[in-house]
């Protein structure tokens, strides 16, 4: 296990390196630069040329990449070119918690609902309840996320005004956790419900898979009560693949949902990264992407490790 | 105190406040303005780039001069100003007792610091261009001089600016906000952009920079010592909102003012709680016409492709009538607008005739025109994807061109990519975009041969001469003549197809008073005496009405 | 049980004489699944209406009626007209063409890349495997939406570029799956046998191993088409999907983003919304049905 871990972590280094190269070149070869969009009658070509020079945009792309790499390896991701020349690390620090709380809340909602529903649905396979659940799952899987979010706002912020229309804090009110929770409710529910569909489906099939296994039959034939069979034997094994999903959803927690954040004007990583891409804010794009890549890689690793931890049959040597 | 007594008191208070409402401005309350998108977080008048930052800067800072609703430049921090006979020397007499938000008094030094920094060799912004016309500024920037010769502090309240040559656009540049020298003069100019000041600025404006929450909102608090009098409002808020939720926010009375899309405006203006306003604004929707395109060597083709486009339908169908067909690149509201130049009113017959004359007189099997060599008249049109209305304009154009036998191929691009693409003249004929203009009719920034934004490759000596002459001339009547001639030339050569001057559709909550009902193109918050930020007020009885 | 064994046997040995009966069994099982059959029927209807759109549609794609712009549903325009006077019903039919094509082609591309790389990786193992798996790591660590945004910005959002981009980003899952299947198959007796008989690598891969991994690949591919259609809709929301004037279900439903249209003109967004819902729903039903029908462990009764 330990050698496996070390091997995987070491393998991550060239992966991240290759990724930084790809992302840097793709972003920098994209037409336009941070100044191209500034159409303003007061700005002269001389001003623009000076500014490009100052930002180092006139250097060759290879020089720029190695400059970036040199600084990044020292932990310096530079300053944003579009957000007040602020240090990129500071921007991430500001936005990251916002995304995390929203995504964790959404994940909690979807897991807490999806796992019981999925198990229930599996145990009552082919019943009316199972068919109804399956049907709604499929509808949930077939709805574009923005549509669901808009519907949620329309109903619960406007027609029945329980929740605010957007934002993360009541403007001007003192900082309070309750206030944030209140603003978070609707986006978290909208996002959570979208997650329910796939999670329920996953739990259901995982449970069905287990129930069919020989050891469950053996357990039953040994005369154990159905409750013991289900909760002691089946459930535990059915949860194995579900646990690995946790590892795989880690990057989602940090990455932030671009669409949900935009619709609810939630100041998270999603809105930051989209704005950065559209305005060619190179340092921010690089930092966000590299961070995301790192988290994804670690998430995959955690998923594999969790899998081995919960399932003793799997061994990494 | 018994509860009954308390209720009585409250009722009395309520009644008295309602009674007072009729009497005139009342202090207190919070005005909620809206911002779509996000801020660039550079709240420094000489360094900011995003227009949204400019909105906040406008509340926190003052310039020496400002525009009023009649588009005249009037004094602001300067009590008055004089321009010498030769038009080169500007003398500004500052208001006495103007305080920065930290209590420090504004003097001529602050003005000198701000302007000098703009042309400093290490200056890192893009707003210095206009100030290079100050005498000695160029030498200072190039490191050949230690100070700017043309910026002269006479005494604490008098400053003189001398320009190299006469420049009619120069005064407008002095609307830029004045920075507090006492806080910044020791910061190296190259480091200024990294200074905390930019996120906690201190100016002389009616509102102090109170609270900024990234991506959420900004709150300005009334500045008690504002030199033109404390604002009636206690707070001025900008709130980030999604465009799609504006109608809901108006209905819930969570916001006081916003510009709306035509469809939204039609709906929101029916609410009893809002007052609707429309006004022209300094903006133009236009098509850039690639002057290097081989298809446009014959001027008739350029003219035909404008004659064949029914812009009335465009304005009515796509913009629901919120705009007027543009016949010039200078907006109708400008004093320099020439109403008598060649107009390209929709005329398919003229369009077809011009195309025939240009040699495109055969039709292929699809009904597309060909010339004698069998070349089809195919046009490549670049369009950006971020704006659905613009996309519709291009689709409409495509259909209308089909009717006169011209095929239009649309290429959709991202906005930034389009701006990059147009600087390479190969492979495109048209692009479409908006220009946000200034009240001054000068077009040197885009239509002079060597201009920064000349992305249509318009090279015309006569036009250059006229633009230079217009910029050097200070007399408005003479300038008008120059721009009349220039507009006629532009409409003959057609570097742009001006399509439309949009109409701003704004709604304001009825509880707000003190704005300019006869607003000009600069909006509701600018009156004949300049900005009205400190004049806005909300009756006491309604100050609590907006849900918190 | 006997039938089941037969399936298993024919799956393992890939013998031709039993293939027919195999498919018969699969079909029998598939038929039993009502949702899957329903899905298949809906999909056939949607595909036919897309293929024959030019014949069915009452108006052409671009035809603008300047006399009736922004109209609600009427006899002449069943689903009303948009702000340029174009018939929404006709556009919906043409949009189906685009959306289904994008779904199929993009999924086809990612399937092709995924199957080839997954097969090579699983078959040869060793250094090749490590290399390809690192490639999979790299691609799966790239944020999906962000890369799509960037690449579309670089190469331009034409429908072809869009299909390639979605295809290129989505192949890693398929590659992992095929690799896993191949790793399982590699050590099976019949493969060892074929190898001993001197079958070439290509023969082994394409004639023996790939057909035996067919079932899971088919299921993922089917479901992949559905998620691609959804992904295009999500990209459209950000303005990066199929670009006007070409209609797609994704960019048509996007009009719901305007609250006034959402509230007052459901005829503009509801039909494309229902179309996406139906298409993805039936693809999911179909995929699930196929999975069950192709699963040798499942009981017929």
pLDDT per residue as tens digits for the range A184-234: 999 998 888 878 888 888 888 888 878 777 777 787 787 777 777 777 778
CB–CB contact A172 B235 (8 Å) = yes
Q: Which residues of A touch C145 (CB under 8 A)?
A: 258
Q: What percent of chain B has pLDDT over 70?
A: 95
The average pLDDT across A6-20 equals: 89
**What are φ and ψ of residue B155, in 5° steps?**
-150, -170
Beta carbon pairs, B and C, within 8 Å: 67
In chain A, what are the domains?
23-76 (no CATH), 95-310 (1.10.3720.10)
The whole-angstrom separation of Cα C277 and Cα A198 is: 15
Please give the class, per CATH, of domain B283-502.
Answer: alpha beta
CATH fold group of domain C23-59+74-293: MetI-like fold (1.10.3720)
pLDDT at A175: 87
**What are φ and ψ of residue C99, in 5° steps?**
-65, -45
Coil, helix or strand at residue B435: strand
CATH numeric code, B59-195: 3.90.76.10
Question: Which residue pairs from C169-172 have beta carbons closer than 8 angstroms and sit at least 24 positions apart in sequence?
Answer: C169/C110, C169/C139, C169/C142, C169/C144, C170/C106, C170/C107, C170/C110, C170/C114, C170/C224, C170/C228, C171/C109, C171/C110, C171/C111, C171/C113, C171/C114, C171/C117, C171/C139, C172/C114, C172/C136, C172/C139, C172/C140
CB–CB contact B385 C243 (8 Å) = yes
CB–CB contact B217 A171 (8 Å) = yes
pLDDT at A311: 67
Model confidence pLDDT, tens digit, residues A199-208: 888 888 888 8
Lowest mean pLDDT among A111-120, A154-163, C13-22, C271-280: C13-22
| pLDDT(A148) > 90 | no
Domain residues of chain B, as ranges? 30-37+201-277+506-542, 59-195, 283-502
Closest chain A residue to C155 measured between Cα atoms? Answer: A30
Closest chain A residue to C147 measured between Cα atoms? Answer: A23
Closest chain B residue to C69 measured between Cα atoms? Answer: B317
* Pairwise pLDDT comparison (B485 vs A158), residue with the higher score: B485
| pLDDT(B79) > 50 | yes
What tens-digit pLDDT sequence spans chain C (301 residues)? 344 444 444 444 544 555 567 778 888 888 888 888 999 999 999 999 999 988 988 888 888 888 788 888 988 888 988 888 889 999 999 999 999 999 999 999 999 999 999 999 988 888 999 899 888 888 888 776 667 777 777 777 788 888 888 888 888 888 988 988 888 888 778 888 888 888 888 888 888 888 888 888 888 888 889 888 888 888 888 777 888 788 999 888 888 788 888 888 888 888 998 999 899 888 988 888 888 787 765 544 3
* Pairwise pLDDT comparison (B53 vs C259), residue with the higher score: B53
Model confidence, pTM: 0.87
Q: Which chains touch A (3 or more CB pairs under 8 A)?
A: B, C
Model confidence pLDDT, tens digit, residues B3-24: 555 555 555 555 444 444 456 8
| pLDDT(A59) > 60 | yes
| pLDDT(A299) > 60 | yes
**Would an 8 Å CB–CB cutoff place B346 in contact with chain A?**
no
CB–CB contact A51 B124 (8 Å) = yes
- Residues of chain A numbered 215-274 and touching chain B (CB < 8 Å): 262-265, 267, 271
Domain residues of chain C, as ranges? 23-59+74-293
pLDDT at C20: 61
CB–CB contact A277 C150 (8 Å) = yes
pLDDT at A130: 87
pLDDT at B10: 54
Residues of C with CB under 8 A from a CB of A: 35, 134, 137-138, 140-143, 145-147, 149-151, 153-154, 226, 230, 233-234, 237-238, 250, 253, 256-257, 259, 262-263, 273, 276-281, 284-285, 297
CB–CB contact C260 B263 (8 Å) = yes
Q: Which residues of C touch A289 (CB under 8 A)?
A: 142-143, 146
pLDDT at C10: 46
- B478: number of Cβ within 10 Å: 13
Please give the class, per CATH, of domain B30-37+201-277+506-542.
Answer: alpha beta
**Would an 8 Å CB–CB cutoff place B240 in contact with chain A?**
yes
* Pairwise pLDDT comparison (C13 vs B110), residue with the higher score: B110
The beta-carbon neighbor of B417 closest among C62, C84, C153 is C153
Q: Which residues of B touch C85 (CB under 8 A)?
A: 317
pLDDT at C3: 43
Average model confidence (pLDDT) across chain B:
92
CB–CB contact B414 C259 (8 Å) = no
pLDDT at A300: 82
pLDDT at C296: 61
- For chain C, the three-class secondary structure string (H helix, E strand, C coil) is CHHHHHHHHHHHHCCHHHHHHHHHHHHHHHHHCHHHHHHHHHHHHHHHHHHCHHHHCCCCCCCCCCCCCCCCCCCCCCCCECCCCCEHHHHHHHHHHHHHHHHHHHHHHHHHHHHHHHHHHHHHCHHHHHHHHHHHHHHHHCCHHHHHHHHHHHHCCCHHHHHHHHHHHCHHHHHHHHHHHHHHHHCCHHHHHHHHCCCCHHHHHHHHHHHHCHHHHHHHHHHHHHHHHHHHHHHHHCCCCCCCCCCCHHHHHHHHHCHHHHHHCHHHHHHHHHHHHHHHHHHHHHHHHHHHHHCCCCCCC
The average pLDDT across B296-309 equals: 95
The average pLDDT across B144-150 equals: 94
CB–CB contact A142 C230 (8 Å) = yes
**Would an 8 Å CB–CB cutoff place B297 in contact with chain A?**
no
Q: Which residues of B touch C70 (CB under 8 A)?
A: 317
CA angle B105, B109, B110 (to 5 degrees): 65
pLDDT at B19: 46
The whole-angstrom separation of Cα B414 and Cα B420 is: 10
pLDDT at B288: 97
The average pLDDT across B463-485 equals: 95
Q: Which residues of A touch C142 (CB under 8 A)?
A: 19, 22-23, 289, 293
Beta carbon pairs, A and C, within 8 Å: 108
- Residues of chain B numbered 486-515 and touching chain A (CB < 8 Å): none
Q: Which residues of A touch C230 (CB under 8 A)?
A: 142, 144
CB–CB contact C154 A31 (8 Å) = yes
CB–CB contact C260 B414 (8 Å) = no
CB–CB contact C243 B391 (8 Å) = yes
Model confidence pLDDT, tens digit, residues A277-290: 888 899 999 998 89
Q: How far is C256 from chain A (nearest CA, A)?
A: 8
Position of tokens 């399509």?
A: B499
């Amino acid at each position: 296990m330990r050698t496996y871990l070390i091997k995987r972590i070491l393998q991550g280094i060239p992966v991240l390196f290759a990724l930084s190269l790809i992302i840097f070149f793709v972003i920098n070869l994209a037409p336009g630069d941070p100044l191209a969009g500034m159409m303003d009658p007061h700005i002269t070509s001389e001003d623009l040329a000076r500014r490009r020079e100052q930002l180092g945009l006139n250097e060759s792309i290879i020089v720029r990449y190695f400059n970036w790499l040199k600084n990044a390896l020292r932990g310096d991701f530079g300053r944003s070119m579009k957000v007040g020349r602020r240090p990129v690390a500071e921007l991430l620090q500001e936005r990251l918690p916002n995304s995390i709380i929203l995504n964790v809340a959404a994940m909690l909602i979807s897991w807490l609902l999806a796992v019981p529903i999925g198990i229930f649905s599996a145990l009552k396979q082919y019943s009316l309840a199972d068919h109804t659940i399956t049907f709604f799952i499929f509808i949930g899987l077939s709805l574009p996320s923005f549509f669901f979010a808009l519907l949620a706002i329309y109903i619960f912020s406007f027609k029945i005004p329980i929740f605010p229309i957007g934002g993360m804090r009541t403007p001007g009110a003192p900082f309070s956790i309750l206030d944030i929770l209140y603003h978070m409710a609707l986006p978290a529910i909208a996002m959570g419900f979208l997650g329910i569909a796939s999670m329920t489906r996953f739990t259901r099939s995982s449970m069905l898979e287990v129930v069919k296994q020989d050891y469950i039959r053996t357990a039953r034939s040994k005369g154990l009560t159905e409750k013991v069979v289900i909760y002691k034997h089946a459930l535990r094994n059915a949860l194995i693949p579900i646990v690995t999903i946790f590892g795989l959803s880690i990057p989602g927690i940090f990455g932030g949902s671009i669409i949900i954040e935009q619709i609810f004007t939630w100041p998270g990583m999603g809105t930051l990264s989209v704005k950065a891409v559209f305005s060619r804010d190179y340092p921010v794009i690089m930092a966000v992407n590299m961070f995301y890549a790192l988290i994804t890689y670690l998430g995959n690793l955690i998923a594999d490790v969790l899998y081995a931890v919960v399932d003793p049959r799997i061994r990494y040597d | 105190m018994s509860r009954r007594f308390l209720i009585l008191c409250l009722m009395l208070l309520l009644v008295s406040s309602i009674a007072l409402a009729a009497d005139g401005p009342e202090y207190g309350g919070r005005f909620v303005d809206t911002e779509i998108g996000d801020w660039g977080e550079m709240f420094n008048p000489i360094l900011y780039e995003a227009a949204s930052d400019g909105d906040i800067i406008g509340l926190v800072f003052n310039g020496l001069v400002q525009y009023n609703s009649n588009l005249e430049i009037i004094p602001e921090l300067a009590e008055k100003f004089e321009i010498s006979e030769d038009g080169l020397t500007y003398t500004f007499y500052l208001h006495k007792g103007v305080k920065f938000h930290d209590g420090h008094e504004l003097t001529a030094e602050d003005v000198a610091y701000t302007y000098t920094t703009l042309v400093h060799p290490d200056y890192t912004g893009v707003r210095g261009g206009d100030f290079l016309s100050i005498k000695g500024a160029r030498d200072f920037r190039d490191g050949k001089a230690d100070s700017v010769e043309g910026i002269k502090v006479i005494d604490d309240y008098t400053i003189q600016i001398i320009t190299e040559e006469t420049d009619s656009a120069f005064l407008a540049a002095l609307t830029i906000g004045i920075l507090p020298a006492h806080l910044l003069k020791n910061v190296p100019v190259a480091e200024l952009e990294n200074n905390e000041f930019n996120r906690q600025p201190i100016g002389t404006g009616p509102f102090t920079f109170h609270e900024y929450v990234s991506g959420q909102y900004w709150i300005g608090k009334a500045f008690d010592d504002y030199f033109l009098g404390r604002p009636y409002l206690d707070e001025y808020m900008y709130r980030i909102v999604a465009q799609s939720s504006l109608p809901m926010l108006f209905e819930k009375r969570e916001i006081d003012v916003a510009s709306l899309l035509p469809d939204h405006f039609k709906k929101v203006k029916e609410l009893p709680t809002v007052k609707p306003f429309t006004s022209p604004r300094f903006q133009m929707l236009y098509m850039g016409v690639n002057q290097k395109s081989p298809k446009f060597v014959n001027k008739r083709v350029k003219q035909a492709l404008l004659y064949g486009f029914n812009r009335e339908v465009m304005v009515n169908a796509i913009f629901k009538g919120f705009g007027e067909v543009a016949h010039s690149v200078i907006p109708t509201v400008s004093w320099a607008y020439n109403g008598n130049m060649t107009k390209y009113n929709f005329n398919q017959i003229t369009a077809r005739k011009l195309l025939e004359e240009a040699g495109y007189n055969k039709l292929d099997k699809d009904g597309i025109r060909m010339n004698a060599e069998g070349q089809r008249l195919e046009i490549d049109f670049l369009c950006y994807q971020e704006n659905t209305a613009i996309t519709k304009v291009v689709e409409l154009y495509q259909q209308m061109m089909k009717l006169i036998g011209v095929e239009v191929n649309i290429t959709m691009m991202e906005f930034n990519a389009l701006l990059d693409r147009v600087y390479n003249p190969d492979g495109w004929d048209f692009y479409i975009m908006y220009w946000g203009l200034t009240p001054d009719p000068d077009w040197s920034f885009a239509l002079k041969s060597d201009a920064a934004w000349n992305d249509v490759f318009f090279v015309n000596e006569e036009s250059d001469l006229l633009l230079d002459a217009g910029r050097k001339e200070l007399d408005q009547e003479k300038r008008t003549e120059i721009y009349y001639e220039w507009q006629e030339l532009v409409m003959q050569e057609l570097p742009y197809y001006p399509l439309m001057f949009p109409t701003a559709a704004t709604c304001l909550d009825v509880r707000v008073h003190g704005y300019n009902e006869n607003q000009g193109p600069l909006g509701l918050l600018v009156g004949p005496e300049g900005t009205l930020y400190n004049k806005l007020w909300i009756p006491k009885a309604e100050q609590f009405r907006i849900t918190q | 049980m006997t039938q089941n064994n037969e399936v298993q046997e024919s799956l393992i040995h890939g013998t031709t004489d039993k293939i027919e009966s195999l498919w018969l069994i699969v079909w029998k099982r598939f038929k039993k699944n009502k949702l899957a059959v329903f899905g298949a029927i809906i999909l056939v209807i949607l595909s036919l209406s897309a293929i024959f759109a030019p014949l069915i549609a009452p108006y052409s794609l671009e035809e603008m009626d300047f006399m009736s712009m922004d109209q609600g549903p009427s006899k002449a325009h069943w689903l009303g007209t948009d702000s340029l006077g174009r018939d929404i019903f006709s556009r919906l039919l043409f949009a189906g063409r685009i959306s289904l094509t994008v779904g199929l082609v993009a999924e086809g591309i990612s399937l092709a890349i995924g199957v080839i790389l997954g097969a090579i990786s699983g078959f040869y193992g060793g250094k090749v495997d490590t290399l390809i798996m690192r490639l999979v790591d790299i691609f799966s660590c790239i944020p999906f939406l962000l890369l799509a945004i960037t690449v579309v910005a670089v190469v331009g959002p034409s429908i072809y570029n869009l299909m390639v981009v979605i295809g290129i980003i989505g192949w890693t899952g398929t590659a992992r799956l095929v690799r896993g299947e191949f790793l399982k198959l590699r050590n099976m007796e019949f493969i060892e046998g074929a190898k001993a008989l001197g079958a070439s690598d290509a023969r082994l891969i394409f004639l023996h191993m790939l057909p035996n991994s067919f079932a899971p690949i088919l299921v993922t591919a089917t479901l992949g088409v559905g998620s691609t259609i959804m992904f295009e809709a999500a990209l459209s929301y950000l303005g990066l999907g199929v670009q006007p004037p070409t209609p797609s279900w994704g960019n048509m439903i996007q009009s719901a983003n305007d609250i006034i249209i959402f509230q007052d003109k459901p005829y503009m967004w509801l039909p494309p919304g229902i179309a996406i819902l139906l298409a993805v729903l039936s693809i999911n039903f179909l995929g699930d049905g196929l999975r069950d029908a192709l699963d040798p462990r499942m009981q017929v009764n």
